[in-house]
Amino acid sequence: MSESWDAAAFKDRVDTLLAGFLAEEAGHLLAIDEALAPVAGQLRAAARYGKRLRAAFCYWGWRAAGQPDSDPLVRAAAAMELVHAAAVVHDDLIDDSPLRHHLPTAHVALRAAVAGRPRARAAGRSLAMLVGDHLMALAGQMFAGCGLPAAYLARARPVWAELARDLIAGECLEILSTGADPDPDLSVKVIRYKTAKYTVEQPLLIGALLAGAAPRLREALSGYGLPLGEAFQLRDDLLGLFGEPGRTGKAGLDDLRGRRPTALLARTWQAAGPAQRERLAGLLGRRDLTDEHLRDVRELMTEVKAPQQIEEMIDTRVREALGRLDGAVLPHPARRALTALARSATDRLH
């Protein structure tokens, strides 16, 4: 790979690795029993989409420490995408989301495999849970078998453990706070642990640790990665309600039906007057919401300038991240790539 950052070429590289790895694993499942075909199919489909941002951040954590391009490192970085694939399957299951990337989510798709059986819906959800669990296990397998020396992998193992713990903690915090009055501070904590850390900061640190980066560089990368990861999820929350499903590939009403503790909802609740809160409370958590209800909520949020507040939070965090980058000693290719990735992660259609 040249010194210039070609995001499309890197994505193709990661896509190829993931497709081959998951096809091989699907083959192992089918060798056990052909009845596992629906599960094998969902396994292969789980990591089919995405910009490969997590793999890219891991790669540039490695390059930021002065290491050259490396096929084993790209394989280790690709394992970050399997962590994400596992998180997506579990998240969609927890939220009972019907769509992702314009397709049925894993638990909805797997329901067809048990159609006509007793408790088919529950069985489909159980199968999806197991697919998500297997993807997380496969992430560890791909990482451990990437081809880098064992001593390199040992340096990154503590952050890998933190990644798994933080991701689970964030998901649990979201579940525990769902349905309560929205809290702006808690919403940011959920963002940080459920998404921000494993999307940007921890992949960066894993790449840097694999490369043997000094503490000062790791501190700078963490200072860049955490606010940028939060900005990434804040943008996702905005798109969840104000994006067009034709572009986002998700159902626009999911956050309202689930009464999820997003920062956007928390800021709206905080800024709303008594009548506005009563109006919003009458909609949150309802399963019969329509596009007309979505328009009403968008109108209310705009009235209290909640989207504007979220945009300001995104801008503040991106500036903070880039400021930490400016103060770090980095090879020029890494500086250029991480600057470009900051824009790609927070200014996107989906």
Classify the C-alpha dihedral 293-296-300-302 as positive or negative.
positive
DSSP-H helix ranges across the chain: 7-32, 37-46, 53-64, 71-95, 106-111, 120-144, 150-177, 184-191, 202-210, 215-242, 245-248, 254-257, 263-271, 274-281, 291-303, 306-326, 332-346
Dump pLDDT digits (tens) for 177-219: 888 888 999 999 999 999 999 999 999 999 999 999 999 999 9
- Number of CB atoms found within 10 A of residue 149's CB: 10
2 inside domain = no
The distance from CA 187 to its chain's CA centroid, rounded to whole angstroms, is: 16
Look at residue 252 in the predicted model and tell me its pLDDT.
65
**CATH number where 274 lies:** 1.10.600.10
- Number of CB atoms found within 10 A of residue 347's CB: 11
- Check residue 100 and report its DSSP letter: E
Domain count, the chain: 1
Q: How confident is the model at residue 4 (pLDDT cuts 50, 70, 90)?
A: low
Q: How confident is the model at residue 75 (pLDDT cuts 50, 70, 90)?
A: very high
161 inside domain = yes
Dump pLDDT digits (tens) for 252-297: 677 787 778 789 999 999 999 999 999 988 888 788 888 899 899 9
Look at residue 243 in the predicted model and tell me its pLDDT.
80
| Domain that residue 95 falls in | 7-346
89 inside domain = yes
1 inside domain = no
What SS3 state is found at 103?
strand
